[in-house]
Structure 1
Amino acid sequence: MTADPVIPEYILIIASSARMLVQAARTAGLKPLVIDRFADQDTQAGAEAYRRVESLAETDIKAAVDYLIECYGVAHVVYGSGFECYPDSLRYLVSRLEILGNRVDVFARVQDKKAFFSCLHDLNIPYPDVSFNPPLYGGDWLIKPLQGVGGVGIQRWRAEEESSTGVYWQRYIEGGQNSVLFLADGGSPQVIGFNRQWSVALDDRQSFVFSGIINDSELPDECKALVTDWLKKLVPTFALKGLNSLDFIQAEGQGYVLEINARPPASMQLYDRDLLVRHVRASQGELIAGLSAQTGCAGYQIVYALSDLRIPKVFAWPPWCMDLPESGALIGAKQPICSIIAHAEKSRQVLEKLSIRQQIIVNKLHQGIDRYGIYSKR
Structure 2
Amino acid sequence: MRLAIVSQSARIYAQLARREGFEVLAIDAFADIDTVQAAHQTWQLPALAGRLTAEDAHILFEKLDAWQPEVLIIGSGFEADIACYQNLHQRYALAGNAPSVLEQVKNPYWLNSYCEAHGVLTPTVRSQAPQQGQWLYKLAGQSGGAHVSDWDESLIVSPEGYWQAFQPGLAVGALFVANQRSVTLLGVHALKQRQGDYTYAGATRLHDARLTAAMQKTLEALVPDAGLVGINSLDTIWHDGQLHVLEINPRLSASMRLYAELPLIQAHLAGTQGAVSPALQANTQYASHCILYARQAIETEDMNFPNWLEDRPDGGSVTAGQPLCSLYAQGDSTNEVQQVLQDKKTQLEKLWGTYVCERIEFNIH
Moved over 6 A (4+): none
Q: 1:310 and 2:304 equivalent?
A: no
Alignment CA distance shift 1:147-1:73 (3 Å): closer
Q: 1:190 and 2:190 equivalent?
A: no
Match of 1:345 in 2: 332
Instruction: Give the TM-score normalised by the residue count of structure 1.
Output: 0.89
Mapped to 1, the partners of 2:186 and 2:219 lie a distance apart of 12
Match of 2:60 in 1: 64
Cα deviations across residues 228-287 of structure 1 (Å, max 9, x unaligned)?
122123222211111111111011222100111111112212111111111111110124
Mapped to 1, the partners of 2:356 and 2:231 lie a distance apart of 41
Mapped to 1, the partners of 2:92 and 2:77 lie a distance apart of 18
SS in 2 for 1:165: coil
Q: 1:74 and 2:69 equivalent?
A: yes
Q: 1:230 and 2:222 equivalent?
A: no
Match of 1:4 in 2: none
Cα deviations across residues 174-220 of structure 1 (Å, max 9, x unaligned)?
21111111111131101111111221135xxxx11111211125x34
Match of 1:50 in 2: 42
SS in 2 for 1:273: coil
Q: 1:29 and 2:16 equivalent?
A: no
Q: 1:15 and 2:11 equivalent?
A: no
In structure 2, what residue type is equivalent to 1:374?
E
Cα deviations across residues 9-36 of structure 1 (Å, max 9, x unaligned)?
1001000111111101101100111211
Q: CA deviation at 1:50?
A: 1.9
Q: Which consecutive residues of structure 2, in runs of 5 or more, have no partner in the other structure?
A: none
Alignment CA distance shift 1:227-1:216 (3 Å): closer
Alignment of 1:101-120 (within 5 A): 101-120=96-115
Mapped to 1, the partners of 2:103 and 2:350 lie a distance apart of 43
Mapped to 2, the partners of 1:293 and 1:160 lie a distance apart of 46
What percent identity do the matched residue pairs reach? 28
Match of 1:358 in 2: 345
In structure 2, what residue type is equivalent to 1:255?
L
Q: 1:332 and 2:322 equivalent?
A: no
In structure 1, what residue type is equivalent to 2:297?
D
In structure 1, what residue type is equivalent to 2:26?
V
In structure 1, what residue type is equivalent to 2:30?
F
In structure 2, what residue type is equivalent to 1:78?
I
Q: Is the 8 A contact 1:366 1:373 kept in 2?
A: no
Instruction: Give the TM-score normalised by the residue count of structure 2.
Output: 0.92
Q: Is the 8 A contact 1:363 1:371 kept in 2?
A: no
In structure 2, what residue type is equivalent to 1:208?
Y
Q: Is the 8 A contact 2:267 2:278 kept in 1?
A: no
Q: 1:86 and 2:95 equivalent?
A: no
Q: Which consecutive residues of structure 1, in runs of 5 or more, have no partner in the other structure?
A: 1-8
Q: CA deviation at 1:356?
A: 3.3
Alignment CA distance shift 1:279-1:133 (3 Å): same
Mapped to 2, the partners of 1:373 and 1:231 lie a distance apart of 36
SS in 2 for 1:239: coil
Q: CA deviation at 1:359?
A: 4.3
**Please, which moves more after superposition, 162-171 or 80-89?**
162-171
Alignment CA distance shift 1:373-1:74 (3 Å): closer
Q: Is the 8 A contact 2:187 2:282 kept in 1?
A: no
Q: CA deviation at 1:370?
A: 5.4
